[in-house]
Amino acid sequence: MGVETIRDLLYFFPRRHLDYSQVESISQLGEGEEQTIIANIWQAQVTMLGGRRGTEAIVGDETGNVRVVWFNQPYLAKNLPTNARVVLSGKVSLFRGRHVFEAPGWELVEDKELIHTGRLVPLYPLTQGLYPRQVRKLMKGVIDQWAWQVEDFLPPELKERCNLLGLAQAINQAHYPEDEATKDRARVRLAFDELFLLQLGVLGK
């Protein structure tokens, strides 16, 4: 991965984002689509799925209920307490005429910012032994603590004239954007920096 310093982590950008920002009701779920719901957990238990132990849950909102399965992850059952509110983001399939969420990303609804669901979710390059959920949590902590300490080398008048984000905001939004428009503005700022520094290097020769 070539990551050795905090700065390397800040500039270790996602290869793309999954758009889980649109929350649907259970009655609106469609087969084969990536979707997000917010629901109550009615039941979560360890069960056999495809010959192996996994977790099965039943969740519901005011429009209905849906089955959720996580293959080969029996440990999840204890993390999904009955009557808790959960955000689920992932692909929905059809099994015996009923919708099923298969291995969705999940987060309990608490007083904190969502990382894995309900937003534009970053997908980082991974190496063996690393998992998307693990890397996202690590990166969020690094960005929250360190991005705002990065010195912005562009003068304010240049940023204003070119309508550029501040560097700290651009780094933050490149990883965890509020929306597509802000993500695009972050990319513009970072691309501007690359070109600006390249030109300085040429002039310095």
Domains and CATH numbers, the chain: 6-16+125-203 (no CATH), 22-108 (2.40.50.140)
Nearest to 146 by CA among 155, 138, 154: 138
Phi first, then psi: give them for residue 153, nearest 5 degrees: -85, -10
Per DSSP bridges, beta strands 98-102 and 64-70 are: parallel
Q: Label residues 29-59 b or e (16+ Cβ within 10 Å = b).
A: beeeeebbbbbbbeebeeeebeeeebbbbeb
pTM of the model: 0.82
In the block, which residue shows the tokens 């929350």?
Answer: 23
Q: What is the pLDDT of residue 3?
A: 83
| Mean pLDDT, range 4-8, rounded to an integer | 93
Using the Cα atoms of residue 193, residue 196, residue 199 and residue 205 in order, give the sign of their dihedral: negative
In the block, which residue shows the tokens 């204003």?
Answer: 160
Q: What angle do CA 115, 169, 113 make, to 5 degrees?
A: 20
Percent of the chain with pLDDT over 70: 97
| Mean pLDDT, range 105-134, rounded to an integer | 88
Nearest to 86 by CA among 135, 138, 44: 44
* 72-99 pLDDT per residue, tens: 999 999 999 999 999 999 999 998 889 9
Segment (H or E) for 43: strand 34-49
Q: Which two tokens stand for residue 102?
A: 């298969």
Contacts of 181 (CB under 8 A, 6+ apart): none
pLDDT at 1 over 80: no
